[in-house]
């Protein structure tokens, strides 16, 4: 079932009653709205004056809902995820931990190929020259030993936003829009990984000691162009700042259509296809990751 996303940007009190998330305002505490916990996939907490109860957080966690907390700069800064969201979690953890280096290099090769293919598909969709990327996704080596991903990225960004654009977390717009979208995507991927019994802290390529979710950073790569498409449209329409409406448009990413062969599913559901295939790869049941091709 497709889960809903709740975004709270004003001072509110959030609590739990009868397995429902209950929302009340400081001005009118007697007026309450509620949402069934089982229907919730994501909760975004942006305002610093939101009060939320521990029973509610536990209920959200038990239902594998991702709670994303924003900092003073209104950017996502932390996530709450369930550590026991899959009945075969121990078994999946073991196969993940015991994965051989050749297997992980082979998986990373697939990730890079899928990412560059989707970048090329997006460029073509936007009437730009996606064929420039064909030599890069056609010649990815095991573990991407010659960094095709990095070389293709420069070509991709120059084609998408012009030769003056530099992709950087601290760079000028549309970097701020990309950062916000990627943070949402990362949270969604982490949630899907946990739902498939995988531990986001054990990456196949990303290994920064200060990164708590390297596997999410690995698996999200081919989904980044879905964020890029939304940001491109926003930027083309003159959006430069993270307004409330822009954030809402970026959150809609979770409901973007993704195609897996003949199946068309919202991105939030598509992520579960990908993470489930990764768990099967670790277990030796399949050899190919399941990723959508951007249309």
Question: What does the pLDDT read at residue 1?
Answer: 63
Report if residue 55 sits inside a domain.
Answer: yes
Looking at the fold, whether 179 and 252 belong to one and the same domain comes out as yes
Contacts of 249 (CB under 8 A, 6+ apart): 230, 234
Looking at the fold, whether 96 and 46 belong to one and the same domain comes out as no
Nearest to 156 by CA among 123, 184, 185, 115: 123
Helix or strand or coil: residue 223?
helix
Looking at the fold, whether 95 and 60 belong to one and the same domain comes out as no
Looking at the fold, whether 36 and 145 belong to one and the same domain comes out as no
Contact in structure between 263 and 257 (CB atoms under 8 Å): no
CATH number of the domain that residue 168 is part of: 1.20.120.920
Contacts of 99 (CB under 8 A, 6+ apart): 204, 282
State which residues form the domain around 56: 4-80
Looking at the fold, whether 198 and 75 belong to one and the same domain comes out as no
Looking at the fold, whether 56 and 117 belong to one and the same domain comes out as no
Assess whether pLDDT exceeds 70 at residue 290. yes
Question: What does the pLDDT read at residue 208?
Answer: 66
Number of domains in the chain: 2
Looking at the fold, whether 47 and 95 belong to one and the same domain comes out as no
Report if residue 290 sits inside a domain.
Answer: no
Assess whether pLDDT exceeds 60 at residue 5. yes
pLDDT per residue over 65-116, tens digit each? 889 898 888 788 888 877 765 556 678 888 998 999 999 999 999 999 999 9
Question: What does the pLDDT read at residue 105?
Answer: 96
Task: At 1, list the tokens.
Answer: 């079932």
Looking at the fold, whether 75 and 129 belong to one and the same domain comes out as no
Give mean pLDDT, residues 267-273: 95
86 vs 72: CA distance, rounded Å? 34
Question: What does the pLDDT read at residue 92?
Answer: 84
Report if residue 292 sits inside a domain.
Answer: no
CATH number of the domain that residue 36 is part of: 3.100.10.20
Looking at the fold, whether 68 and 208 belong to one and the same domain comes out as no
Task: Give the torsion sign (CA, 176, 177, 178, 182).
Answer: positive
Question: What does the pLDDT read at residue 227?
Answer: 98
Contact in structure between 150 and 156 (CB atoms under 8 Å): no
Looking at the fold, whether 45 and 120 belong to one and the same domain comes out as no
Contacts of 107 (CB under 8 A, 6+ apart): 204, 278, 281, 289
Among 50, 80, 110, identify where a domain stops. 80
Q: Identify the helix (H) or strand (E) that includes residue 93.
A: helix 89-97
Looking at the fold, whether 178 and 115 belong to one and the same domain comes out as yes
Q: pTM (2 decimals)?
A: 0.88
Among 80, 98, 118, identify where a domain stops. 80
Question: What does the pLDDT read at residue 121?
Answer: 98
Among 56, 80, 104, identify where a domain stops. 80
Report if residue 288 sits inside a domain.
Answer: no
Report if residue 208 sits inside a domain.
Answer: yes
pLDDT per residue over 154-211, tens digit each? 999 999 999 999 999 888 999 999 999 999 999 999 989 988 889 888 899 977 655 6
- How many other C-beta atoms are found inside a 10 Å radius of the C-beta of residue 166? 12
Question: What does the pLDDT read at residue 209?
Answer: 57
Give mean pLDDT, residues 264-291: 96
Task: At 174, list the tokens.
Answer: 């549309």
Looking at the fold, whether 254 and 147 belong to one and the same domain comes out as yes
Question: What does the pLDDT read at residue 278?
Answer: 97
pLDDT per residue over 16-74, tens digit each? 999 999 999 877 777 789 999 999 988 999 999 999 999 999 999 998 888 989 888 87
């Amino acid at each position: 079932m497709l889960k809903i996303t709740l975004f709270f940007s004003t001072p509110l009190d959030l609590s739990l009653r009868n397995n429902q998330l209950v929302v009340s305002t400081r001005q009118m505490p007697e007026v309450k709205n509620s949402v069934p916990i089982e229907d919730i996939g994501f909760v975004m907490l942006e305002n610093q004056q939101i009060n939320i109860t521990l029973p509610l957080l536990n209920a959200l966690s038990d239902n594998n809902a991702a709670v994303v907390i924003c900092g003073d700069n209104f950017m996502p800064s932390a996530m709450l995820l369930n550590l026991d969201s899959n009945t075969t979690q121990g078994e999946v953890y073991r196969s993940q931990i015991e994965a051989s280096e050749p297997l992980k290099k082979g998986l990373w090769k697939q990730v890079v190929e899928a990412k560059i293919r989707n970048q090329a598909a997006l460029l073509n969709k936007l009437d730009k020259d996606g064929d420039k990327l064909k030599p890069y996704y056609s010649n990815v080596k095991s573990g991407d030993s010659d960094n095709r991903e990095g070389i293709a990225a420069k070509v991709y960004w120059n084609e998408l936003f012009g030769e003056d654009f530099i992709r950087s977390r601290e760079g000028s717009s549309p970097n701020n829009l990309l950062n916000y979208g990627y943070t949402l995507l990362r949270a969604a991927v982490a949630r899907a990984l946990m739902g498939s019994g995988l531990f986001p802290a054990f990456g196949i390529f990303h290994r920064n000691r200060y990164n708590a979710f390297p596997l999410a950073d690995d698996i999200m790569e081919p989904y980044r162009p879905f964020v890029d498409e939304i940001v491109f449209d926003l930027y083309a329409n003159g959006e430069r700042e993270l307004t409330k409406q822009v954030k809402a448009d970026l959150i809609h990413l979770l409901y973007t259509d993704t195609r897996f062969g003949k199946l068309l599913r919202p991105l939030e559901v598509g992520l579960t296809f990908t993470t489930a295939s990764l768990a099967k790869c670790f277990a030796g049941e399949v050899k190919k990751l399941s990723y959508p091709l951007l249309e």
